[in-house]
Amino acid sequence: MKIVSAKVIVCSPGRNFVTLKLETDAGVYGLGDATLNGREKAVVAYLEEHCLPALIGRDARNIEDIWHYFYRGAYWRRGPVTMTAISAIDMALWDIKGKALGTPLYNLLGGKSRERVMVYAHATGKELGDAVDAVGKARDEGFVAIRVQSSVPGVASSYGVPKGDRAYEPAQKGVAEEQVWETAPYLRYLPKLMDRVRSTYGFDFHLLHDVHHRCTPSQAARLAKAMEPFDLFWLEDPVAGELQEGLRMIRKHSTTPIAIGEVFNSIYDYTTLITEQLIDYVRMPIVHGGGITHLQKVAALAAVYHVQMGFHGATDLSPINFAASLHFDLAVNNFGVQEYMPHVDPAFDVFKVNYKFERGYCTIDDKPGIGVEIDEEKAKKYPYVAASLPVARRTDGTMFHW
């Protein structure tokens, strides 16, 4: 089953998505997500200029071989652009394999380990009261796991808080917004927010929070400890993760579960974190982490050390990645939770999806492969719009982690 054509489709139905389409001489095609938020065109060029010519003529069945071809064959390994391109190829090949064999992806990954996938909602507010209300709204919608974020009093802009009434989309058109941030008020504020959430709604649901890399190890350790009375499901990205040892201090001081890695792209970003048992959840998404092939290996490594999977799933990843994630979530034993942020309507104008949300859980139907289709004509209606994620500075102007 030879690959006979390969093309990249860029569209922006609400936000930018990059989609890889591979066609085979068996008449079966596959789709893979190649979206790297704010760096989309680099992935497009990586694929079109450097990968796709080498894909033509290869046997689509040999996914492991093709994975290593592009991983090792790049010579310059790892990194978000490289690994997103590889992920897209890998996803499209698994989609092809499923379609060629007439079976949904999860069945190729070992079958179902569960019937439905617990997802967590985003609840955000411009102030404490709004955030608390948003948690209540998410509970009313049936969510059993909710991530809460809010603006911090005295801090000009906070991660995860929308500006207007629309759902939170941090990327904005054109050049990155420069936000202002200080961690000290946040450290003092967060326990208040969590206390209000728990005292309002009790403990009978999973509560999550994303630090978004904005702590030093000692700040993160302090924060994780301060979160203990609120029984968090996880505290996410407590410190910037390039230095894996940076998580050690948190672990020494707190039992709050830790999730990390939505910006990671390789199993090597996790070796120390996992083998030293510094984390509880893997956040690296399929679309950035080398695809299904690589994530299966990460999940295997994680399982040995009691670590569970908790895929990134914001709307900066396309419905194709989300569907692939659900297949993976259904199949793997060491599943924890799946992030779920519904795409805006235009996305569903372009992508025909096979999953749905109901009362706290997502399910996916039995269409072969990944099961999401793209309407290429409609995609053309939504041309690419350059957009950037924000950056953050401290009040003295220091470039900081967004």
Q: Which of 135-143, 160-168, 295-303, 342-350 is the region at the interface with its own copies (rule: CB under 8 A)?
A: 295-303
For the segment 131-170, give every residue that binds its own copies (CB under 8 A): 154
Catalytic status, residue 270: no
Compute the distance between CA of residue 19 and CA of residue 304 in angstroms, rounded to an integer: 34
Compute the distance between CA of residue 106 and CA of residue 326 in angstroms, rounded to an integer: 8
* Residue from 18, 74, 131, 324 in contact with its own copies (CB under 8 A): 74
Q: Does 265 bind its own copies (CB under 8 A)?
A: yes
Compute the distance between CA of residue 196 and CA of residue 334 in angstroms, rounded to an integer: 31
**Which x/- pattern, by CB under 8 A, does the window 180-219 give for its own copies?**
----xx-xx--------------xx-x---------xxxx
For residue 2, the one-letter residue type is: K
Least distance to its own copies, CB of residue 367, Å: 15
- From the candidates 46, 159, 355, 361, which is the catalytic residue? 159
Q: Does 109 bind its own copies (CB under 8 A)?
A: yes
Q: Does 82 bind its own copies (CB under 8 A)?
A: yes
Q: What value does the CA radius of gyration of the chain take, rounded to a whole number of Å?
A: 20
Q: Does 173 bind its own copies (CB under 8 A)?
A: no
Least distance to its own copies, CB of residue 1, Å: 10
For the segment 353-382, give every residue that binds its own copies (CB under 8 A): 361
Catalytic status, residue 159: yes
Q: Which of 121-129, 240-248, 317-325, 341-349 is the region at the interface with its own copies (rule: CB under 8 A)?
A: 240-248
Phi, psi angles (nearest 5°) of residue 30? -135, 155
Q: Does 76 bind its own copies (CB under 8 A)?
A: yes
| CA pseudo-torsion sign 116, 350, 391, 43 | positive
Q: Annotate 319-356 with b (16+ C-beta within 10 A) or e (fewer).
A: bbbbbbbbbbbbbbebbbbbbbbebeebbebbbebbbe
Reported as type and span, the H/E element at residue 147 is strand 145-150
* Residue from 4, 9, 39, 373 in contact with its own copies (CB under 8 A): 39
Helix (H, G, I), strand (E, B) or coil at 88: helix
Q: Are strands 391-393 and 399-400 parallel, antiparallel or unpaired?
A: antiparallel
* Residue from 32, 38, 289, 313 in contact with its own copies (CB under 8 A): 38
What is the set of active-site residues? 159, 212
